[in-house]
With several copies, the nearest count.
Chain A
Amino acid sequence: MDILENIYGMTAIGKLIADPSYIVMIALGFVLLYLGIKKQFEPLLLVPIAFGVLLANFPGGGLGVIAADGEGCVEYLKNGVMVRQNIYEDMTIPEIAHDLGIMNMLYYALIKSGLLPPIIFMGVGALTDFGPMLRNLKLAIFGAGAQFGIFAVLIVASQCGFDMKEAGSLAIIGGADGPTAIFTTLKLAPHMLGPIAIAAYSYMALVPVIIPLVVKLTCSKEELSINMKEQDKLYPNKTEFKNMQALKILFPIVVTTIVAIIVPDAVSLIGMLMFGNLIKEIGNSTSRLFQTASNGIMNTATIFLGLCVGATMTVDAFLNLKTIGIVAGGFCAFGLSIFGGICLAKVYNLFAKKKINPLIGATGLSAVPMASRVANDIALKYDPKNHVLNYCMSSNVAGVIGSAVAAGILISFLG
């Protein structure tokens, strides 16, 4: 037996030559790393995702996620025999690790089980301040209008070769919320997880481009110059807050209750979001939990979520026509959501005396807090005294609730 022959057999070179689509995927991994590192596209998630893509696509590395088929089964060689097992019912966690490697173990235990998105939402909640929303409660309604893109794209996608579950997963990109999109896709169409997660995070990173684009196409200079503080002076808000702290403690509990009663399927997401927020707002007596939820737990979940989502991007899962549909459909969902929020603001202005800057409608999208910052920058361009940030934060945070509710509806009716 020849040394070089043995070495060549061990390397991945033969497999890369035999199937160059691996190289395409590796190149995609490099591109995503470039976007995450150099272009600063949501690096906290895109860097782990990109590295996961890379790790998954070196042939022979055994770090790619093997997707279960429609019946929940996977096929693989075991002791030289091809076996077919139901990965949920027949394979224990140590068996998955032993036969399919640690990435599949992590994926099926942490991701496919639906565990990590709610846990990340707990951290998101712990980092969210509902204060601006409570101060401008009325503006929260734009968090509903800006879910329009989800359902609009659902209709289109369901007519373009995606089945209803796939269409729902694709459409949720319009929610502009990473964990929500991942959670929904895991329930409806897990085979599209990779492209959907990457599209969602990429478009969230592109909010500074997409929002100005949609705003330019739909809003007049007069509308964008509506100064919210002046409106407040003209039509003063009579609400006073005698105990903001108590309010902030009660609010997450109340929102959880409302959402849980109306859309039970959204309670994993909203419940954990609000739990994270609650342990933050309680203050000293639960600050140990708050610290860990918003740091250690959230970062750990982010690393493993990212790596595993990236590892689902194997050749079969990515290099097909549906990926193009996801990229295009996701963009439309995103844009239409912004459009929906803006339209609602315009309709509101038709009837109300106290006008609202349509930028506040646009930020109903979520993508907290970048959307608000971008909206504020636009407003300042048209009127250097027009600080809309705090108003935008209200619809912006409401958008997180809105998209989680939309996700719950999709899961409830299509899951």
Chain B
Amino acid sequence: MNSLSILASAAANSEGFEGLSGALLLMAIGMFTVFIVLLLVIYVGKCLILFVNKFVPEEVKEAPKTASFASVQAVDAVTADIIAKAVNTLTGGKGKVESIKKI
């Protein structure tokens, strides 16, 4: 929401996009731009892959990233597993962990 740029061109806009022709023009602009942006994302993304492979090919050492969602859930799974096994062992197989929830 950039008031300055919008407002500067407001006079033009409010007239330019009225009626069917305006809507059609907007469709053309819109679909074209959306494609341009995603094509750029794709091709710049590919360049990025090449760049990373060439210049930073190895994983950073401080690897165990907590924040990464996947690994967090992996840890959770491990923890759940441990607790489940502990319960099993300790209760002689009678106890069972129904669900473990993190608040």
Q: Show the binding face of A for B, using Cβ within 8 Å.
A: 1, 3, 6-7, 9-10, 59-62, 76-80, 98-102, 114, 127, 129, 131, 134, 137-138, 140-141, 143-144, 147-148, 150-152, 154-155, 158-159, 164, 167, 187, 239-243, 245-247, 250-251, 254-255, 258-259, 262-265, 268, 279-287, 290-291, 398, 401-402, 405-406, 409-415
Contact = CB atoms under 8 A, between A and B. Distances in A.
Nearest to A128: B69
Given A6-B25, A7-B32, A245-B60, A137 B65 contact: no
Nearest to A102: B1
A262 B3 contact: no
A254 to B, nearest CB: 6
Contacts of B20: 155, 158-159
B23 A148 contact: no
22 contacts: A1-B25, A7-B36, A62-B2, A77-B3, A79-B10, A137-B46, A140-B38, A141-B38, A144-B31, A151-B30, A154-B27, A241-B52, A243-B56, A262-B37, A264-B5, A280-B69, A283-B62, A283-B66, A287-B65, A287-B66, A398-B41, A401-B37
Given A243-B52, A250-B48, 15 more contacts: A9-B9, A62-B4, A77-B4, A100-B3, A101-B3, A134-B45, A158-B20, A159-B20, A242-B58, A246-B52, A250-B52, A263-B37, A280-B68, A402-B37, A413-B13
Contacts of A100: 3
Contacts of B39: 141, 144
Main secondary structure of the interface of A (DSSP, over half): helix
A1 B15 CA distance: 12
Given A61-B2, A137-B45, A155-B24, A243 B59 contact: yes
Main secondary structure of the interface of B (DSSP, over half): helix
A263 B70 contact: no
A267 B16 CA distance: 24
Given A147-B31, A280-B69, A401-B41, A239 B2 contact: no
A140 B36 contact: no
B1 A60 contact: no
B38 A247 contact: no
B76 interface: no
B78 interface: no
Given A62-B3, A79-B7, A251 B29 contact: no
B7 A77 contact: yes
Contact of A164 (B10, B17, B53, B57): B17
Residue of B2, B35, B48, B56 contacting most chain A CB atoms (<10 Å): B2
Contact of B67 (A284, A401, A414): A284
Contacts, number: 217
Contacts of B81: none
B37 to A, nearest CB: 5
B65 A80 contact: no
B90 interface: no
Nearest to B67: A287
A264 B34 CA distance: 13
A409 B31 CA distance: 10
Contact of B38 (A9, A78, A144): A144
B68 A283 contact: yes
A409 B30 contact: yes
B18 A164 contact: yes
Contacts of A9: 9
